[in-house]
């Protein structure tokens, strides 16, 4: 059964992997169709041995992940026109833009309803929707942070000083040395269990800034199913 986790840095990338120990002599690496990395390791293999093997095969692993990634679902380019779908907390909502004197955005029975003085101006619609997402992200991330902190025995020790919401290109979040939690605005489109995965991951960095064994030991102790959540995040938000 998978009960160990690790990660190594390869250039600008972080390769996460799960370890399954078996009665065997050699280490074997498999990249699954969902791009996850599974290591089949002998019962007596050390963490150093496993990490060394992953580092040696890192180039091959990244190529395999890139190959499988092309078959994952892709979020279409948004045009911000009535009829297209947008994600919020893992659910799909259809965009409906209508003429109104005052601008507003709200959820109404499966729709993201945009009231706009200029419904034909897609750039205005985009700005209204983005601002709505940003506000919802601030609210939801604060709510999920409180829930995630309950996972830790000493909640005060893992309380960040503030939450910063920004649109990021290559990461879902980060924790600064000054304990400021930065979260990608797009994360509010993901299911709550995936949001909790990112927040909990970053909270663990307060105790362990790097992705070493101690980090994954803590992460696994407070969120044992994090690999499943990670895969769901990547699948839904691909």
Cβ–Cβ < 8 Å for 216, 15: no
Q: Is residue 188 part of a domain?
A: yes
Residues 135 and 36 in one domain: no
Residues 141 and 199 in one domain: yes
Instruction: Specify the pLDDT at position 39.
Output: 93
Cβ–Cβ < 8 Å for 226, 200: yes
Residues 139 and 174 in one domain: yes
Question: How far, in Å, CA of 238 to CA of 234, rounded?
Answer: 6
Residues 45 and 118 in one domain: no
Query: Considering its fold, how many domains does the chain have in total?
Result: 2
**Tell me, what CATH number does 206's domain have?**
3.30.2010.10
Residues 60 and 144 in one domain: no
Residues 186 and 111 in one domain: yes
Residues 23 and 139 in one domain: no
Say if residue 1's pLDDT is above 60. Answer: no
Q: Is residue 220 part of a domain?
A: yes
Please indicate whether residue 68 or residue 40 has the higher confidence score (pLDDT): 40
Q: Last residue of a domain, which of 69, 96, 111?
A: 69
Query: Counting Cβ atoms within 10 Å, is residue 83 exposed (0-12), middle (13-18) or buried (19+)?
Result: exposed
Q: Last residue of a domain, which of 20, 42, 69?
A: 69
Q: Is residue 168 part of a domain?
A: yes
Question: How far, in Å, CA of 191 to CA of 173, rounded?
Answer: 15
Instruction: Specify the pLDDT at position 73.
Output: 63
Residues 41 and 108 in one domain: no
Condensed to tens digits (0 to 9), the pLDDT of residues 186-222 reads 999 999 999 999 999 999 999 999 888 899 999 999 9
Mean predicted confidence (pLDDT) in 160-176: 91
Q: Last residue of a domain, which of 34, 69, 104?
A: 69
Residues 29 and 130 in one domain: no
Instruction: Specify the pLDDT at position 33.
Output: 82
Could you tell me the pTM of the whole model? 0.79
Instruction: Specify the pLDDT at position 34.
Output: 79
What's the chain's average pLDDT?
91
- Residue closest to 100 by CA, chosen among 85, 117, 77, 82: 117
Reported as a pLDDT band with limits 50, 70 and 90, residue 91 is very high
Q: Which residue has the tokens 């939450």?
A: 163
Mean predicted confidence (pLDDT) in 110-134: 95
Say if residue 6's pLDDT is above 80. Answer: yes
Q: Is residue 198 part of a domain?
A: yes
Reported as a pLDDT band with limits 50, 70 and 90, residue 68 is confident
Q: Is residue 146 part of a domain?
A: yes
Condensed to tens digits (0 to 9), the pLDDT of residues 93-102 reads 999 999 999 9
Residues 225 and 131 in one domain: yes
Residues 99 and 159 in one domain: yes
Q: Is residue 79 part of a domain?
A: no
Instruction: Specify the pLDDT at position 3.
Output: 62
End-to-end CA distance of the chain: 27
Q: Is residue 149 part of a domain?
A: yes
Range of the domain at 112: 85-236
Q: Is residue 78 part of a domain?
A: no
């Amino acid at each position: 059964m998978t009960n160990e986790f690790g990660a190594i840095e390869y250039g600008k990338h972080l390769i996460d992997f799960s370890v399954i120990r078996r009665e065997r002599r050699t280490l074997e690496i498999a990249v699954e169709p969902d791009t996850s990395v599974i290591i089949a390791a002998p019962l007596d293999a050390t963490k150093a041995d496993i990490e060394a093997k992953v580092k040696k095969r890192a180039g091959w692993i990244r190529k395999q992940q890139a190959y499988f990634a092309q078959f994952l679902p892709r979020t279409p380019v948004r045009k911000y026109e009535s009829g297209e779908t947008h994600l919020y907390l893992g659910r799909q909502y259809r965009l409906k833009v209508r003429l109104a004197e005052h601008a507003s955005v709200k959820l109404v029975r499966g729709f993201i309803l945009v009231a706009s003085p200029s419904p034909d101006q897609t750039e205005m619609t985009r700005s209204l929707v983005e601002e709505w997402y940003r506000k919802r992200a601030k609210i939801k991330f604060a709510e999920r942070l409180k829930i995630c902190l309950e996972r830790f025995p000493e909640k005060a020790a893992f309380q960040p000083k503030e939450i910063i919401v920004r649109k990021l290109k290559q990461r879902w979040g980060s924790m600064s040395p000054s304990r400021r939690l930065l979260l990608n605005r797009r994360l509010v489109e993901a299911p709550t269990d995936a949001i909790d995965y990112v927040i909990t991951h970053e909270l663990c960095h307060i105790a362990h800034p790097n992705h070493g064994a101690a980090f994954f030991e803590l992460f696994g102790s407070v969120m044992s199913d994090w690999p499943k959540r990670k895969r769901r995040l990547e699948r839904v938000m691909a």
